[in-house]
Amino acid sequence: MNKSIAVLAGDGIGPEITRGAIEVLKVVGERYGHKFEFHQGLIGGAAIDQTGTPLPEETLNICKKSDAILLGAVGGPKWDKNQSHLRPETGLLQLRKKLELYANLRPVQVFKSLRDASPIRADLIQDVDLMIVRELTGGLYFGTPKGRSIQNGVETAVDTLFYEKSEMERIVKKAFELAQSRSKKVTSVDKANVLESSRMWREVAENVSKEFPDVKLEHMLVDNAAMQLIRDPKQFDVVVTENMFGDILSDEASMLTGSLGMLPSASLSMSGLHLYEPIHGSAPDIAGAGKANPIATILSVAMMLRMSFNMDKEAEAVERAVNDVLDAGFRTADIADGEKCITTNEMIHEIKAEIAGTGMISSIMAIYA
Ligand code: IPM
Ligand code: MG
């Protein structure tokens, strides 16, 4: 198959991790007979510096012409004091909005060999396998009014949590559909004891659940959910929630896996053009130092293979390679726990070698086969 992929590297560690993901895709292509074409586009701070805007029209066009989008990360101290329309994050938010990437899937899986890398007790996280389904184009991130003003001589700031009912319906529905192919349980997270929008969310969840009698629905308040994620993460299967709650809970959940550098994500649209990105940020403090963990981005590529291209065995090959490389003890700095670690490029190299069948583990298996 021929597939065209837009690559938006962004800022900080974005370029090094997306380069790794591209190399991985090339190996997958060689091994399984596909041709992947890559088209780079500017986004975030890099785009502001070169074009004066965080999401140039050209980038949007590159995305629209592609079969899928891979994104690195955006942001950095250089642009932190900019006004909102000139912030790197605004580029990412505009992209999500313009392409209607409403459903952000953030799977949280604990790799066996990383059980001790988590600050949470190993017995609590063993076999954790949950999916956070985060609404991505509404809520506090986009609602208006938004901004700062002086009212009667008093400085004020406002953000608005706004949702249309249909926006709630489509994301909750997506969560139920996903749950059908998993453990058939949806936890809908809200703040219905305080927020009007959450009370509507709960109603919507109840209504949608009627269409899915085989899936169990449970409601949980977001503060309790934050606590339960640490106390007993195994109770969760699919967790569905609005934009901001999902942003916060997914960073929290990443610590179950040992590092924010492990979590991939897929942002799905109705149109079929989806975006894949690690959930972590641009980590400007370690950019270019060979310390970044490329696994979240490489696992995002596995999600791309499966969800955008229907390439199941290719996706499995990438996931298996990551698993095997971790089993063999290779660690980037974030998951090394003071032990010896390898660089970003070395990690990319090991994963590629496993996919190609020339890595250490594949070779040992071949000898005993
Ligand atoms: C994420 C990030 C973004 C978000 C930022 C960079 C705008 O934290 O994807 O989780 O808040 O959505
Ligand atoms: Mg976030």
Q: What is the pLDDT of residue 304?
A: 98
Domains and CATH numbers, the chain: 1-107+261-369 (3.40.718.10), 119-257 (3.40.718.10)
Pocket probe for ligand 1: among 69, 92, 97, 243, the residue whose CB has the most ligand atoms within 8 Å is 92
Could you tell me the end-to-end alpha-carbon distance of the chain, in angstroms, rounded to an integer?
31
Rounded CA-CA distance 116/125 in Å is 10
Q: Which of 80, 223, 232, 337 is catalytic?
A: 223
| Encoded tokens for 177 | 């559909």
Rounded CA-CA distance 308/310 in Å is 6
Atom 9 of ligand 1: nearest residue by CA position: 279
Catalytic, 223? Answer: yes
Contact yes or no for 263/97 (Cβ under 8 A): no
CA-closest candidate to residue 297, choices 324, 327, 265, 254: 265
pTM comes to 0.95
Atom of ligand 1 lying closest to residue 277 CA: 9
Q: What is the pLDDT of residue 361?
A: 74
Query: pLDDT by residue (tens digit) across 14-59?
Result: 999 999 999 999 999 999 999 999 999 999 999 999 999 999 999 9
Helix 44-51 to helix 88-98 angle (10° resolution) is 100
Phi, psi of 10 (to 5 degrees): 80, -140
Q: What is the pLDDT of residue 369?
A: 63
Atom 6 of ligand 1: nearest residue by CA position: 89
| Encoded tokens for 223 | 């503060």
Catalytic, 32? Answer: no
Rounded CA-CA distance 86/231 in Å is 40
Q: What is the pLDDT of residue 358?
A: 87
Q: What is the pLDDT of residue 211?
A: 98
72 lines ligand 1 (CB under 6 A): no
Phi, psi of 144 (to 5 degrees): -120, 150
Residues whose CB is less than 8 angstroms from the CB of residue 96 and which lie 6 or more positions away in sequence, other chains included:
136, 137, 267, 275
Contact yes or no for 243/136 (Cβ under 8 A): yes
Q: Which ligand is nearest to the CA of 92?
A: 1
| Encoded tokens for 274 | 């989806």
**Cα 320 to ligand 2 centre (Å):** 26
Atom 11 of ligand 1: nearest residue by CA position: 247
H/E element holding 222?
helix 222-231
Atom 5 of ligand 1: nearest residue by CA position: 89
Residues in the chain where the model's pLDDT stays below 50: none
Q: What is the pLDDT of residue 86?
A: 97
Atom of ligand 1 lying closest to residue 73 CA: 6
Q: What is the pLDDT of residue 313?
A: 98
Q: How many Cα neighbours within 13 Å face the side chain of 57?
A: 0
